[in-house]
């Protein structure tokens, strides 16, 4: 059953994805922090990107711990936030954090793959802006029982929405070797995908995340174990993306959100790996060209109508200070779009 919450307090913290999403939860003394003490990624840049939004509702399609949403509501009293997340723990954190904004924060449990019916069901009209801050949140990583962590033993789970029956166990212990290798390569650019897939299949049944992390470590060549962070990082990322269909929902959700922006409305997307950023760039380019495929040196003859403009052609990256302070931000890419009116002007 969907939860539908109107919510509470500017206390609390922020959830985020990162270059190595598990790096920051481990403290200098080797212990793990279960608190929500994190900064929202590229917060100043996100606020800057959404500053020209006209008054009205802004969709936060991945509200997480509510960090970006709280900053936006603080900065812009003329905006409200419709915050979605498919994780009940994330919604509990954002509900506490945003409670003091009262009816300006409307939170709802849903995947952004169901954006159209969700916004229609909530009675949300044209959007003044939207934000997608993709990937996993700190609570998902920090709680070993969620099964996202390659640093601790936990069940092979990795579901953001724990109502869904499909888990990491179905992938790790059920996928044919070729499919496992394909997803490691496609979802995480894992160079040793075939070796890892072979080892996993040979060791079945793999019982938990610690066993999976050990298998990956032994499957890859010794020199590769010493470079590029934890050897299981990419394998866990690839399986997590598969379990949660993270790439499959993105293009449709972005098209839906762009289509619902009012003229002058702004959309911002933070992505954290190349697969996500490719999809964001393609959908933003499509909106900015109307899908025109005419040769670039010739006038458009296909009648395509652009529905948006891109304030910057390239993605923004975090300032070096932020990446140094917060390793989770290091791989972030921020893309921004502004909706034109129906005639193609701003
Ligand atoms: C990086 S966190 C968001 C952090 C948030 N911007 C903040 O500042 O607190 C990403 C959140 O998106 C959620 N999420 C990921 N994919 C989703 C999807 N398809 N639909 C809804 N929520 C999703 C995750 O559960 C997670 O809580």
Domain locations in the chain? Answer: 3-139+246-339, 144-244
CA distance 39 to 66: 11
Q: Which of 22-26, 71-75, 233-237 has the lowest mean pLDDT?
A: 22-26
CATH 1.10.150.20 for the 144-244 domain, yes or no: no
CATH topology of domain 3-139+246-339: Rossmann fold (3.40.50)
CA of 198 to the centre of ligand 1 (A): 32
Residues in the chain: 346
The closest-lying atom of ligand 1 relative to the alpha carbon of residue 111 is: 20
In this model, does residue 12 exceed pLDDT 70? no
CA distance 277 to 270: 8
The residue whose CA is least distant from atom 20 of ligand 1 is 111
Q: What is the pLDDT of residues 233-264, one digit of tens each?
A: 999 999 999 999 999 999 999 999 999 999 99
Q: How confident is the model at residue 11 (pLDDT cuts 50, 70, 90)?
A: very low
CA distance 209 to 215: 10
Q: Which of 152-156, 255-259, 295-299 has the lowest mean pLDDT?
A: 295-299
Q: What is the dihedral of CA 291, 294, 299, 300, to 10 degrees?
A: -40
Segment 147-163 shows an average pLDDT of 95
Task: State residue 114 phi and psi, 5-degree precision.
Answer: -110, 35
CA of 153 to the centre of ligand 1 (A): 24
Q: What is the pLDDT of residues 205-229, one digit of tens each?
A: 999 999 999 999 999 988 777 776 7
Which pLDDT value is given to residue 345? 54
- Please name which of 169, 165, 171, 166 lies closest in space to residue 155, comparing C-alpha atoms: 169
Bigger pLDDT: 165 or 35?
A: 165
Q: What is the pLDDT of residues 103-117, one digit of tens each?
A: 999 999 999 999 999
- Dihedral sign for Cα atoms in the order 181, 182, 184, 190: positive
Please provide the DSSP assignment of 91-156 as one string: HHHHHHHTGGGGGGEEEEE--GGGHHHHHHHHT--SEEEEEEE-S--HHHHH-GGGS--SSS---S
Which pLDDT value is given to residue 88? 92
CA of 222 to the centre of ligand 1 (A): 35
The answer to whether the CB of 65 is under 6 A from ligand 1 is: yes
- Please name which of 61, 91, 72, 96 lies closest in space to residue 258, comparing C-alpha atoms: 61
- Please name which of 211, 206, 180 lies closest in space to residue 193, comparing C-alpha atoms: 180
């Amino acid at each position: 059953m969907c939860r539908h919450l109107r919510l509470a307090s500017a206390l609390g913290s922020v959830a985020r994805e990162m270059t190595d999403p598990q790096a920051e939860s481990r403290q200098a003394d080797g212990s793990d922090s279960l608190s929500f003490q994190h900064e929202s990624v590229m917060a100043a840049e996100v606020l800057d990107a959404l500053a020209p939004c006209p008054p009205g509702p802004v969709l936060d399609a991945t509200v997480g711990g509510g960090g970006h949403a709280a900053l936006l509501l603080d900065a812009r009293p003329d905006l409200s936030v419709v915050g979605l997340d498919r994780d009940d723990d994330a919604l509990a954190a954002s509900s506490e954090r945003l409670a003091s904004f009262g009816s300006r924060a409307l939170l709802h449990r849903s995947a952004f793959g169901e954006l159209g019916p969700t916004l229609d069901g909530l009675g949300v009209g044209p959007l003044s802006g939207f934000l997608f801050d993709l990937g996993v949140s700190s609570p998902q990583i920090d709680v070993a029982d969620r099964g996202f962590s390659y640093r601790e033993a936990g069940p092979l789970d990795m579901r953001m929405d724990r109502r869904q029956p499909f888990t990491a166990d179905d992938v790790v212990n059920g996928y044919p070797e070729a499919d496992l290798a394909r997803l490691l390569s496609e979802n995480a650019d894992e160079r040793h995908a075939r070796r890892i897939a072979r080892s996993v299949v040979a060791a079945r049944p793999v019982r938990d995340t610690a066993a999976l992390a050990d298998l990956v470590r032994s499957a890859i060549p010794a020199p590769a174990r010493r470079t590029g962070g934890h050897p299981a990082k990419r394998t866990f990322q690839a399986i997590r993306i598969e379990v949660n269909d993270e790439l499959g929902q993105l293009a449709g959700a972005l098209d839906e959100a762009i289509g619902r922006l009012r003229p002058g409305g702004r959309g911002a997307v933070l992505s954290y790996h190349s697969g996500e950023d490719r999809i964001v760039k393609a959908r933003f380019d499509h909106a900015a060209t109307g899908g025109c495929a005419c040769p670039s040196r010739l006038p458009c003859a296909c009648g395509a109508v652009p529905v948006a403009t891109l304030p910057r052609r390239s993605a923004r990256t975090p300032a070096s200070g932020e990446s140094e302070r917060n390793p989770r931000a290091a791989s972030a890419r921020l893309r921004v779009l502004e909706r034109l009116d129906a005639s193609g002007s701003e």
